[in-house]
């Protein structure tokens, strides 16, 4: 009797764990024999890498549009003004400097803006 009670408690523990995993979401799929199987949804990455990538691409495109709109001479003059400022402005000038990727994107968008 004690053995059956232990097995029952073990099954209850497994069901509780499965319920906890399912509470974060689940995916139902139909197997080839027609049985519907419900599995817990996979854990997602804690940090949204796709969002970070899109933000980075958007930043480079923004820099390229500004470069194409005002031209490289004016852009470099404004960067020189930033480089003469406080440490935060110098850091901004370093981030905003013309790099090969920004220059290439500005080359594509320049004729469109003019």
Query: Could you tell me where the DSSP H helices lie in the chain?
Result: 2-22, 49-70, 72-83, 87-96, 100-113
Residue with the bigger pLDDT between 100 and 26: it is 100
Same domain for 66 and 102 = yes
Which range of residues forms the domain containing residue 36?
2-40
- Interval 76-96: pLDDT, tens: 999 999 999 999 999 999 999
Same domain for 60 and 31 = no
- Interval 39-81: pLDDT, tens: 888 777 778 889 999 999 999 999 999 999 998 999 999 999 9
pTM here is 0.61
Q: Is the pLDDT of residue 110 over 90?
A: no
Same domain for 59 and 109 = yes
């Amino acid at each position: 009797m004690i053995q059956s009670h232990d097995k029952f408690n073990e099954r209850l523990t497994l069901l509780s764990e499965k319920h906890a995993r399912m509470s974060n979401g689940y995916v139902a799929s139909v197997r080839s024999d027609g049985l519907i199987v419900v599995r817990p949804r996979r854990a997602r990455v804690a940090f949204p890498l796709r969002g970070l990538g899109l933000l980075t691409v958007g930043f480079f495109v923004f820099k390229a549009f500004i470069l194409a709109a005002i031209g490289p001479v004016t852009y470099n003059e404004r960067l020189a003004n930033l480089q003469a400022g406080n440490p935060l402005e110098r850091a901004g000038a370093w981030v905003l400097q013309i790099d090969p990727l920004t220059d290439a994107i500005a080359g594509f968008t320049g004729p469109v803006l003019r």
